[in-house]
Structure 1
């Protein structure tokens, strides 16, 4: 296990395919896979794990993949739901709690910059314009996650 490997005791392996679970869960899983596969540094997905789900709100997936480029770690968290999709490198979080905490922190940087009219060029990419209105919407979702979901993962 290299330093970028996650704590697999904190996740649940998912069977191949996408036949189990609610409509929301299947859609989130598909969205997470598509998001990950959209990156040029991913060659093939080897394994999928579920770190946390609150249907319709947030899903924390862990993927093991075959890197398409050298010096790319083979594990990454993908967070999707009623929030912008993003990946969190396992160097920054070995558990779903740490991954979600890192996600919230990175997105809060975007919210702050967008709220203040600053550049978001060197901040985590978000799939909406960097306006104060979008910053307020995302900020509210992040506060909900921080106050209500993150404590459940801290176990």
Structure 2
């Protein structure tokens, strides 16, 4: 497996300096949510470092965590996405930038939306914290379209 190391020039080490233009009023709450989400997994032994990848106030936040696990099958780097979308993580062993993390998130969530629309099993798809039904699929689909059209282009180089 050819693991990549995330491009740390595309993220900011946390905590951000006071007055940082990237900071917003919801950043602390989003970071807390991302930490709690990550720590909910038993394979996370400790969070070693935290980085801020991107934030659209109240909509979406992308964080990068360096973790220790104690398990060889768990990557050292984990991207976590939280906000007005279902929280999710992306292993950092094949995701280098916040753009790639969000792009992968959108793709994985679109797979969930399609399965939920068609009444298919979502058991092997990215976990989403709502029932897999057409109504929830439509709601999530609208958010994903917004992210794809309005936010993802901002992260492109």
User: One fold, TM greater than 0.5?
Assistant: yes
Distance 1:115 1:4 in 2: 34
The 5 Å alignment of 1:53-132 reads: 53-132=55-134
Gaps of 5+ in 1: none
In the other structure, the counterpart of 2:9 is 9
Distance 1:83 1:68 in 2: 30
User: TM-score normalised to the size of structure 1?
Assistant: 0.92
TM-aligned CA deviation for residue 68 of structure 1: 3.2
In the other structure, the counterpart of 2:144 is 142
Contact 1:60 / 1:79 at 8 angstroms: preserved in 2?
yes
Distance 1:130 1:142 in 2: 16
TM-aligned CA deviation for residue 71 of structure 1: 2.4
Distance 1:102 1:91 in 2: 13
TM-aligned CA deviation for residue 90 of structure 1: 1.5
TM-aligned CA deviation for residue 67 of structure 1: 1.1
Q: Which of 26, 29, 36 matches 1:27?
A: 29
Contact 2:113 / 2:140 at 8 angstroms: preserved in 1?
yes
TM-aligned CA deviation for residue 69 of structure 1: 1.9
Contact 2:25 / 2:57 at 8 angstroms: preserved in 1?
no
More deviation, 6-15/140-149: 6-15
Provide the aligned C-alpha RMSD in A.
1.5
Q: C-alpha deviations, 1:47-89, integer Å up to 9, x for none? A: 0001100010000000001113222111010000000000001
TM-aligned CA deviation for residue 91 of structure 1: 2.8
